[in-house]
Amino acid sequence: MSNDALPATLNGWFATPLGRYVLEREQRYFDDAVADVFGYNALQLGLADIDFLRASRIPWHCRAGFQGPVQLQADFRDLPIASQSVDLVLVPHVLEFSPNPHQVLREVARVLLPEAHVVVACFNPWSLWGMRRVFSAMDHRYPWRGRFISLVRIKDWLALLGLEIIAGQMSCYVPPCAQQKWLTRFSFMEAAGDRWWPVAGGVYFLQAVKRVRGLRLIMPKWSDRLAPKKTLAPVPKRVGSNGEATAREPIEVR
């Protein structure tokens, strides 16, 4: 594909054969990741044309960005959202195209409630996709214009912000071919990727939970509420040798 044919936006790139290949796998991962996250507020940063929150059961969804069908126009480095107010944040390919990705993650950590979730998707520099970007250093169009961030660095940033990684996955092992016929021919690499080159996927995902030191969730004492009260069980009387009725000591029921 010539430079003139390359899309000028990341949303436009997702409409190309290679972009659709990536989007199919990313949509599948996000659907699985958000399905079991509960709460009241969910936020998606960037890629407003794509609803990565479609499978979420959280009642309030918001897509933030600079353009497109967004509910909130915002700079991701300074989100106009109250601290500790969001239960789920999705960050799909925002960090690679931000001038200050660490600040974006800092803002994400700020708006998350304790024990809330964040899901990150990034292009992997240590892959065939990363090699393609190196050879396209003069190409200022998407997605090769981004600064691909290594998985190790993202993990370090998340740990510094108190975000504990609970899951992750590599995906998109095929070479970044522009034409659908080549993507089809190399599709066998997708099935073998996790086994033979598990760290070389073109895209990686991370799921993390915000941990707060000293925070202890207070749960209701269901066992005490449901446990039956101790009672005394009646016992039958017996007749003694002198003909008088006597009773055994009551038995305590536990």
Q: Same domain, yes or no, for 237 and 184? A: no
Distance CA 88, CA 116 (A): 6
User: What pLDDT score was predicted for residue 2?
Assistant: 37
Q: Same domain, yes or no, for 156 and 238? A: no
Residues 63/72, Cβ–Cβ less than 8 Å: yes
pLDDT, one tens digit per residue, over 129-157 is: 888 888 766 667 788 888 999 999 999 99
Percentage of the chain lying above the pLDDT 90 cut: 51
pLDDT top residue among 44 and 242: 44
Tally of CA atoms within 13 A in the half-sphere of 53 that contains its CB: 26
Residue 210, Cβ density class (10 Å: 0-12 exposed, 13-18 middle, ≥19 buried): buried
Cα distances (Å, whole numbers) of residue 68 to 51, 65, 116:
12, 8, 27
Q: Same domain, yes or no, for 172 and 249? A: no
pLDDT, one tens digit per residue, over 68-83 is: 788 899 999 999 999 9
With respect to residue 215, please indicate whether it lies within any of the assigned structural domains: no
Residue numbers of the domain that contains 233: 227-253
Residues 77/98, Cβ–Cβ less than 8 Å: yes
Q: Same domain, yes or no, for 239 and 176? A: no
Q: Same domain, yes or no, for 231 and 205? A: no
Q: Same domain, yes or no, for 98 and 151? A: yes
Q: How many CB atoms lie within 10 A of CB 54?
A: 11
Q: Same domain, yes or no, for 203 and 119? A: yes
User: What pLDDT score was predicted for residue 66?
Assistant: 83
Q: How many CB atoms lie within 10 A of CB 95?
A: 27
pTM comes to: 0.78
Q: Same domain, yes or no, for 205 and 232? A: no
Dihedral Cα 113, 77, 46, 129, nearest 10 deg: -110
Question: At which residue do the structure tokens 């803002």 appear?
Answer: 107
Q: Same domain, yes or no, for 130 and 240? A: no
With respect to residue 216, please indicate whether it lies within any of the assigned structural domains: no
Distance CA 151, CA 240 (A): 84
The tokens of 143 are what? 């997605």
Residues 156/145, Cβ–Cβ less than 8 Å: no
Structural domain total, the chain: 2
Q: Same domain, yes or no, for 38 and 101? A: yes
Average pLDDT over residues 222-244: 55
CATH for 109:
3.40.50.150
Q: Is the pLDDT of residue 97 over 80?
A: yes
